[in-house]
Chains A and B, each alone.
Chain A
């Protein structure tokens, strides 16, 4: 017993030592300068969560990014240089995100950064990228704080651009459901008790009021809540025309199930989250019917890139994308490539200038960045979203009209 433990101890020490030494020596032989050498690939660092509580978003981002990489390389690369992707697991953690950014910039010598899922990570990584003067396209983190920060010090964050939509864009995505589809006069906001959902709620209220729609009640539930009797009773009491749901994590599913079982007589529309993921919906059975939701992209001819992308995605990976993560990562990489091609050089200032002035094509529409806060513009003619409704486990597009599958499918118990 004692002997075996000793052997194990020695083996363990050796393993760890060799690991540490072997790895650090490898780090010193980091690659040389790759700038502007046409033989060298153009390296893009991807900061995405692959472990931790947002871990399931990472793979889908890589899957989207790979399609962009293949398309660009097949078309001759970026000014003749092939695109290489170097992913790093930021684990949706601020410290890991900064570590990743530093490693990608200082050791892998990437030419640009794309990514971050969490706003906190994006805010910390922005500074690292700005210090190193490396272009950084924020693909998913949505909070307004990012563009506020860029807007305040535009020259420092010269190379940071926000491909991700703003909070107001998420709500603008839902608004047509109230105005065009249901012609609602009142709505109820049920959301989880997080900063994100609260921001969403207050922006929604402003936009709805501007459209003449009144908020008649709101509920913020715990992120670990499982029992929604109280919420549903409150909704029934408030008697709104539409329920807007901002529960995007785990409680979303039990809430939707109870909502269905209680036969609440008004339609519900949810923002991106657990209830918009096809895998979750697949197992919910009938209880997922009649939930409407907003998303950024779906396999409809929204731009000429869209249909081929979704076909490739389905063929290559065999699953349905969510319409968020993969779309924004793909778009970010394409924008980067298109901007350099348009600028005609790898010069970073030229790139920043091009990004500020030109327009770029992506899956979600046409990207045009704001000159001061570098936020991609939302709305007709720019980037826009779609609305769909779950019926029998399939997403039926209900808005905009030019690509829709059907009108809103009404549940028998709606008023």
Chain B
């Protein structure tokens, strides 16, 4: 019984990890940059929904939509105004995005202050199915996350833009030659990444805390998941997200509760040592 309960918790958590990491894997593949500001869009999404719900009294759905749209627009602006100028210089991009993440964190402190905040849950209560407890809030978040992930996958598979995105990710040079506006695709992908990070935050902020430095932990998790799954592999990313969530939950119950973070690092370092291309990375060749 305990095992089933833990697995269910791990799966619920994994869906949200997958959502967070999906945006990063798209950005990494398409832009070929190390975006260290990815966590900031997570933070922004949380603060926007905090602002709309608590300060302006909007309902959850409206606030959520507004937040992610805003994050999308900010992503567009950041790519155009900051990243585009230096995108070819890998080191400068890392420094810039790192600095930008810090700057935005401080701007948030400036605008909203630094105390811990939280949001009231969208759905209160717990379902009890044969002794297994399911928090409604987590179920709702998980469901929305899965819907978003499926939408993104369909979008990549079916639409013209989605195909162009995959092409840029897999073969940038070829994408230029078939007449894809690579810069435009990169800009939109960056914005889609911001959108996904923000939507994860909107779903999680009623469960977790909202505070200015909240974005670093998902950034690191997302990077770990992407490295684990193989850079640029969407399938690998999703599988790695669930695997990681399960490892965390199970190890914290069966081994030691303070180990969830340590086990994450250990897994990450082992993967880099043993299989640097990640579990599903097979991008070389062709």
Contacts and interface: CB of A to CB of B under 8 A. Distances in A.
Interface of A: 53, 55-56, 193, 219-222, 224-227, 229-231, 233-234, 250-251, 253-254, 257-258, 261-263, 274, 277, 279-280, 283-287
A222 B261 contact: yes
Given A222-B260, A229-B6, A56 B114 contact: yes
B119 A283 contact: yes
B115 interface: yes
A261 B117 contact: no
Contacts of A277: 115-116
Given A253-B208, A286-B124, A230 B257 contact: yes
A272 to B, nearest CB: 13
Nearest to B254: A230
A119 to B, nearest CB: 21
A219 B257 contact: yes
Contacts of B137: 261
Contacts, number: 108
Contact of A193 (B2, B13, B248, B258): B258
Contacts of B43: none
Interface of B: 2, 5-6, 9, 13, 50, 54, 109, 113-121, 124-126, 133, 135, 137, 204, 207-209, 211, 213-214, 217, 245, 248-249, 252-253, 257-261
Given A219-B257, A280-B118, A227 B209 contact: no
Contacts of B121: 257, 285, 287
A230 B209 contact: no
Contacts of B114: 55-56
B74 to A, nearest CB: 24
Interface SS of chain B: helix, strand, loop or mixed? helix
A257 B207 contact: yes
Nearest to B261: A222
A248 to B, nearest CB: 11
Contact of B135 (A221, A250, A251, A258): A258
A275 to B, nearest CB: 9
Contacts of A286: 124
A230 B118 contact: no
A220 B124 contact: no
Given A56-B113, A221-B257, A225-B260, A285 B120 contact: yes
Contacts of B245: 227
20 contacts: A56-B115, A220-B258, A221-B252, A222-B257, A225-B257, A225-B261, A227-B13, A229-B6, A229-B9, A230-B6, A230-B252, A230-B253, A233-B2, A233-B253, A254-B209, A258-B135, A261-B124, A262-B135, A279-B115, A284-B120
A229 B118 CA distance: 20
B281 to A, nearest CB: 27
Given A250-B208, A250-B214, A257-B207, 8 more contacts: A56-B113, A56-B115, A222-B261, A233-B5, A233-B253, A263-B126, A280-B115, A283-B54
A261 B122 CA distance: 13
A283 B137 CA distance: 16
A231 B257 CA distance: 7
A283 B5 contact: no
A261 B125 contact: yes
Contact of B249 (A53, A227, A250, A258): A227
Contacts of B116: 250, 253, 274, 277, 279-280
A295 B116 CA distance: 18
A222 B263 CA distance: 11
B160 to A, nearest CB: 36
Nearest to A232: B133
Nearest to A224: B217
Nearest to B262: A222
A262 B113 contact: no
Contacts of B119: 283
Contacts of B113: 56
A85 B120 CA distance: 40
Nearest to A192: B258
A274 B214 CA distance: 15
B113 to A, nearest CB: 7
Contacts of A250: 116, 208-209, 211, 214
- Nearest first, the 5 closest Cβ-Cβ pairs linking A and B are A230-B253, A285-B120, A193-B258, A229-B9, A56-B114
B264 to A, nearest CB: 9
Contacts of B253: 229-230, 233-234
B10 to A, nearest CB: 8
B209 A253 contact: yes
A244 B114 CA distance: 27
Nearest to A218: B257
Given A220-B258, A229-B6, A280 B117 contact: yes
A218 to B, nearest CB: 9
A277 to B, nearest CB: 6
A241 to B, nearest CB: 21
A222 B115 contact: no
Contacts of A231: 252, 257
B86 to A, nearest CB: 13
> Which of A231, A257, A263 has the most chain B CB atoms closer than 10 A to its own CB?
A257
A257 B207 CA distance: 7
A17 B253 CA distance: 57
> Which of B115, B133, B207, B253 has the most chain A CB atoms closer than 10 A to its own CB?
B115
A17 B38 CA distance: 35
Contacts of B249: 227, 229-230
Contact of B207 (A55, A220, A230, A254): A254
B126 A262 contact: yes
A285 B120 CA distance: 6
